[in-house]
Amino acid sequence: MCKTAVELTASQWADILALVERGKDDLANYRPHADKDGYTAEELQELDRLASSEASASLASQVSQAASDEPKTRTYMAFCQESNGHGTVWISPVEVDAQSDRDSELQDAATQARYACAHDWDRYLNEDDDSPLDISGIVCMGLAEGNVTIAMWDDSHLE
């Protein structure tokens, strides 16, 4: 058995599966008329072989299994602080949609962390809680992949 491994995005895999399904539909629709359309006996035999092949079912099964293994979201532990370095460091998990573009995913996680931090610190553009959150002056210093548990944190040296 020959095995080939490839890396494709979820949308590329979806396109491959759509092509496979389209091919199966075409075989089912056109095979009954193929002998009248001038196909040779060998070509008809090959069409029958392809139509009954386990390859497309195996591919669809493996791709759907791989797709279900991929996370829909990812969790990061975010570290935020005032941009002037004063005050405590805010540490909390954030969950974002998993993306094929890692840089975009990390940017989304950092932005979400800044908003969550502003919420926890009651930082609003206006005095009332209905006002939009004010993320200016808050920086996301880092993201750790996964939901990390902080065992100990002592920032008293910063005071």
Q: pTM surpassing 0.85?
A: no
Cα-based torsion angle of the residue sequence 132, 138, 142, 145 in order, rounded to the nearest 10 degrees: -20
What is each CA distance from 54 to 32, 34, 58, 83, 129, in whole angstroms? 20, 22, 6, 59, 60
Predicted confidence (pLDDT) at residue 91 exceeds the cutoff of 90: yes
Query: In this predicted structure, what is the pLDDT of residue 159?
Result: 65
Give the C-alpha separation, 91 to 3, whole Å.
45
Q: Quick one: pLDDT at residue 87?
A: 85
Strand arrangement of the beta sheet that strand 73-82 belongs to: 90-97, 73-82, 138-145
Which pLDDT score is estimated for 66? 64
Element (H, E) at 97: strand 90-97
Name the pLDDT band for 38 (thresholds 50, 70, 90): confident
The tens digit of pLDDT for each residue in 46-66 reads 877 777 777 767 777 776 666
At 46 the pLDDT is: 81
Give Dmax (Cα) for the chain: 88
Q: What pLDDT is stored for residue 157 in this prediction? A: 77
